[in-house]
Structure 1
Amino acid sequence: MDIEAFRTYCLSFPDTHEGMPFQGFFKNSRSILVFYVGKKMFCFFDIDKFDNCTLKCDPEAIETLREHKGIQKPFNLSWKHWISVALNGEVSDEMLMDLVNKSYTLVSAGLSKKST
């Protein structure tokens, strides 16, 4: 999946938007594109590299997912709640889309709980 198709997919979920919140803060993070539902992020990646994305994940599924080639601990986030997914073909587009969907669902469900 190319970067534009991936971006379009991430933006296809209800109440999502994108941003680049780290542009003025960290030299190595200026090109990080983040996808949000509400004010919570569910996916992000470096637009200059597009080599992996970071996704929120059900803590109970993480260990099993990490057995799959192309899924690793994330850089700079809790490995108990986030995964890094290779965008080099090691993970199929179908699996990638499923993981993005699950990340969005997990984050949006958390927003719903806070509003009730």
Structure 2
Amino acid sequence: MDLESLRAFCLSLPAVTEDVKWEHDLCFSIGGKMFCVASLEAPLSFSFKVNPEDFQELSVKPGLTPAPYLARYHWILASEGHPLSKAEVETRVRDSYEMIKSKLPKKALKEAGLL
């Protein structure tokens, strides 16, 4: 999956915003909370949140590592050569979106037009 495909998928989810943080990372958020972060520099790498059980399983696969600074919150960094198919990337990113969305206060959900 390339950056444009990942970007198009993230922006297809309801109430998603994007912005550049740390000068070279494209961040996708819902209600002001990040659910996916992609490097703007080649080669493509991106991070997403997973549940604790999947974190242990995924973090030992080639091309998948605990995300720097976010690993304690169960984020995975997918680097070049990761084993995830496009469909699995979309599933993982959608799951990350749903996990972050589920933790938002009702006020944030309402402001995002999700209630």
Range class of TM-score, shorter chain: 0.7 to 0.9
- Does residue 27 of structure 2 align to residue 49 of structure 1? no
The count of corresponding residues between Structure 1 and Structure 2 is 107
Q: Which residue of 1 aligns with 2:113?
A: none
Q: Which amino acid aligns with 2:14?
A: P
Cα distance in 2 for partners of 1:35, 1:73 equals 19
* Ranges in structure 2 where 5+ consecutive residues have no aligned partner: 108-115
Larger RCO, structures 1/2 (Cα 8 Å, 6+ apart): 2
SS of match in other structure, 1:34: strand
AA aligned opposite 1:14? P
Displacement of 1:82: 0.8
Preserved CA contact (<8 Å) 1:69 1:91: no
The CA RMSD over aligned residues, in Å, is 1.8
CA deviation map 1:47-78 (0-9, x unaligned) = 12243101111122210122333211112223
Q: Which residue of 2 aligns with 1:115?
A: 106
Supply the AA of the counterpart residue of 2:16: T
Asked whether 1:74 is paired with 2:52, we answer no
Q: 2:99 maps to what in 1? A: 106
Please report the TM-score for the alignment, with normalisation by the length of structure 2. 0.81
Identity %: 28
The answer to whether residue 28 in structure 2 is matched with residue 19 in structure 1 is no
TM-score (norm: length of structure 1):
0.81
In structure 1, the gaps of 5 or more residues are: 23-29
The CA distance in 1 between the partners of 2:67 and 2:52, in whole Å, is: 13
Distance 1:17 1:4 in 2: 15
Q: Which residue of 2 aligns with 1:6?
A: 6
